[in-house]
């Protein structure tokens, strides 16, 4: 730890729970933020200010105006330029703390790339917007003995839970199956921006405790910022027949590439099974006569009402204006190619 570090983090070092040794551990830590939306954007800023030495920022999406109400790192210019969230988050983190490493990864986390994207991570913070990704994270974390912290928020309600392999139940122990039926989302039920900040802050607090060697109680914590209710419920013990932490089948980690999925209440479908590099500049020139095209070097946005295609350099695309995977595939094939 340098003299500059001692000065910068002096108030944190004074706190007995962290101290000089804890700060050195934070500086040496590598934390993956999976999903840089309402939770993940807060994670990134808080970790940077705490002096976590390396932050992996993983997100598949881009900044939109509707994000600005609750996604703390982003500005109007990020939405206007349709910047990928990982890129915008890394730029913001660099302005907050230029002495740490913020690595943006504009990717969708899949079984095929999770080893590469999470390489070196000593802890994972969950900012994902779907259970599919969380089951995948859980399999990887259990298999690699890496702690991760689940979090979610919608409306005025949120919750968080630490998963520490070998010490607590895992995510699949607590949630053997994803919730059935239509679930509320920020797009359908709205969200109060303070609940996302509260849940994300709680997640980062748990992360700091784990990274500095402090003990963490295996509890599910729920919050409601509108009613003021806060509850702590003890996590169940690990399930002896859990496919992830007991049987180690890791069925999500070893599964095949995923089919197109509808995105969290957004009237959009992601096509993420066409892994091939694209020359976006050339594609922009091809599509320009057919509709509106915006290209910023990181992603291409093509608008042909009532649909909008956002295409990334790896061939992945988000198609807005439909929740029908077949139609999304058709639009992809029509304008991007098979």
Task: Give the pLDDT of residue 28.
Answer: 98
Task: Give the pLDDT of residue 110.
Answer: 87
Task: Summarize pLDDT for 40-93 with one digit per residue, the tens.
Answer: 999 999 999 999 999 999 998 889 999 999 999 999 999 999 899 999 999 999
Q: How far apart are CA 228 and CA 242, in angstroms?
A: 34
- Average pLDDT in the 3-32 region? 98
Task: Give the pLDDT of residue 324.
Answer: 83
> Residue 71 has which token pair?
């996604």
Q: Is residue 95 part of a domain?
A: yes
Task: Give the pLDDT of residue 114.
Answer: 95
Task: Check pLDDT > 90 for residue 173.
Answer: yes
> Directed axis angle between helix 38-50 and helix 85-96, to 10°?
30
Q: Domain range for residue 123?
A: 3-234
Q: Which residues contact 180 (CB under 8 A, 6 or more apart)?
A: none
Q: Is residue 240 part of a domain?
A: no
Same domain, 226 and 266: no
Q: What percent of the chain has a predicted confidence (pLDDT) above 90?
A: 73
Query: Read out DSSP for 110-142?
Result: -TTTHHHHTTT-SEEEE--SSHHHHHHHHHHHH
Q: Is residue 252 part of a domain?
A: no
Q: Is residue 266 part of a domain?
A: yes
Q: What DSSP element (H or E) covers 158?
A: strand 157-163
Which of 149, 151, 146, 97 is CA-nearest to residue 120?
Answer: 146
Instruction: Write down the mean pLDDT value for the chain.
Output: 92
> Is 250 an annotated catalytic residue?
no
> Residue 100 has which token pair?
């740490």
Lowest mean pLDDT across 98-107, 158-167, 327-336 = 327-336
Q: Is residue 255 part of a domain?
A: no
Same domain, 207 and 284: no
Same domain, 182 and 325: no
Same domain, 159 and 277: no
Catalytic residue among 186, 242, 245, 250: 186
Same domain, 330 and 200: no
Q: Which residues contact 295 (CB under 8 A, 6 or more apart)?
A: 280, 281, 284, 301
Q: Is residue 168 part of a domain?
A: yes
Task: Give the pLDDT of residue 259.
Answer: 54
Name beta bridge partners: 178: none
Q: Is residue 250 part of a domain?
A: no
Same domain, 265 and 139: no
Task: Give the pLDDT of residue 187.
Answer: 66
Task: Give the pLDDT of residue 180.
Answer: 64
φ and ψ of 123, to 5 deg: -165, 150
Task: Check pLDDT > 80 for residue 115.
Answer: yes
Same domain, 296 and 147: no
Is 16:209 a contact under the CB 8 Å cutoff? Answer: no
Task: Summarize pLDDT for 296-313 with one digit per residue, the tens.
Answer: 989 999 999 999 999 988
Report the domain count for the chain.
2
- Average pLDDT in the 186-213 region? 94
- Average pLDDT in the 26-37 region? 97
- Other beta carbons less than 10 A from residue 214's beta carbon: 12
The CA dihedral of 186, 189, 190, 196, to the nearest 10 degrees, is -60
Task: Give the pLDDT of residue 332.
Answer: 85
Comparing 274 with 21, the larger pLDDT belongs to 21
Task: Give the pLDDT of residue 19.
Answer: 98
Its sign, for the CA torsion 281, 286, 287, 292, is positive
- Average pLDDT in the 122-134 region? 92
Is 244:250 a contact under the CB 8 Å cutoff? Answer: yes
Same domain, 111 and 219: yes
> Residue 320 has which token pair?
């807005």
| Domain CATH number, residue 324 | 3.30.310.10
Task: Check pLDDT > 70 for residue 183.
Answer: no
Please report, for residues 81, 149, 202, 253, 262, the alpha-carbon distance to residue 102 in angstroms, rounded to integers and kept in the order given. 21, 20, 21, 26, 29
Same domain, 175 and 296: no
Residue located via tokens 């009237």: 267
Q: What percent of the chain has a predicted confidence (pLDDT) above 70?
A: 94
Q: How far apart are CA 36 and CA 58, in angstroms?
A: 7
Task: Check pLDDT > 50 for residue 257.
Answer: no
Alpha carbon 109 to its chain's center:
9
DSSP type of residue 251 = T
Please report, for residues 4, 120, 134, 184, 222, the alpha-carbon distance to residue 130 in angstroms, rounded to integers and kept in the order given. 40, 24, 7, 12, 18
Comparing 31 with 315, the larger pLDDT belongs to 31
Task: Check pLDDT > 80 for residue 261.
Answer: no
> Residue 32 has which token pair?
């993956």
| Domain CATH number, residue 40 | 3.40.50.720
pLDDT band at 264 (very low <50, low <70, confident <90, very high): low
């Amino acid at each position: 730890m340098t003299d500059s570090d001692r000065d910068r983090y002096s108030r944190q070092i004074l706190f007995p729970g962290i101290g000089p040794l804890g700060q050195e551990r934070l500086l040496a830590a590598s934390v993956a933020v999976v999903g840089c939306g309402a939770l993940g954007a807060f994670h990134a800023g808080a970790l940077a200010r705490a002096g976590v030495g390396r932050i992996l920022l993983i997100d598949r999406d881009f900044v939109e105006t509707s994000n600005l109400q609750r996604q703390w790192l982003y500005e109007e210019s990020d939405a206007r330029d349709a910047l990928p969230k990982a890129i915008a988050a890394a730029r913001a983190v660099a302005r907050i703390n230029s002495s740490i490493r913020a690595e943006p990864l504009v990717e969708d986390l899949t079984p095929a790339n999770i080893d590469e994207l999470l390489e070196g991570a000593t802890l994972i913070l969950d900012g994902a917007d779907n259970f599919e990704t969380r089951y995948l994270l859980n399999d990887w974390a259990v298999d690699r003995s890496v702690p991760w912290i689940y979090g979610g928020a919608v409306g005025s309600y949120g919750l968080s839970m630490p998963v520490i392999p070998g010490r607590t139940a895992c995510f699949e122990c607590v949630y053997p199956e994803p919730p059935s039926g239509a679930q509320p989302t920020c797009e359908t039920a709205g969200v109060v921006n303070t609940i996302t900040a509260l849940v994300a802050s709680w997640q980062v607090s748990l992360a700091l405790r784990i990274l500095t060697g402090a003990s963490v109680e295996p509890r599910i914590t729920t919050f409601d910022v509108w009613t003021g209710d806060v509850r702590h419920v003890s996590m169940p013990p690990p399930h002896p027949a859990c496919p992830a932490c007991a049987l180690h089948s890791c069925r999500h980690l070893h599964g095949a590439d995923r089919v197109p999925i509808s995105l969290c209440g957004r009237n959009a479908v992601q096509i993420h099974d066409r892994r091939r590099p694209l020359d976006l500049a050339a594609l922009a020139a091809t599509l320009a006569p057919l509709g509106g095209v915006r290209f910023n070097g990181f992603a291409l946005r093509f608008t042909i009402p009532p649909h909008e295609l956002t295409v990334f350099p790896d061939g992945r695309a988000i198609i807005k204006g439909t929740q029908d995977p077949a139609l999304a595939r058709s639009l992809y094939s029509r304008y991007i190619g098979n």
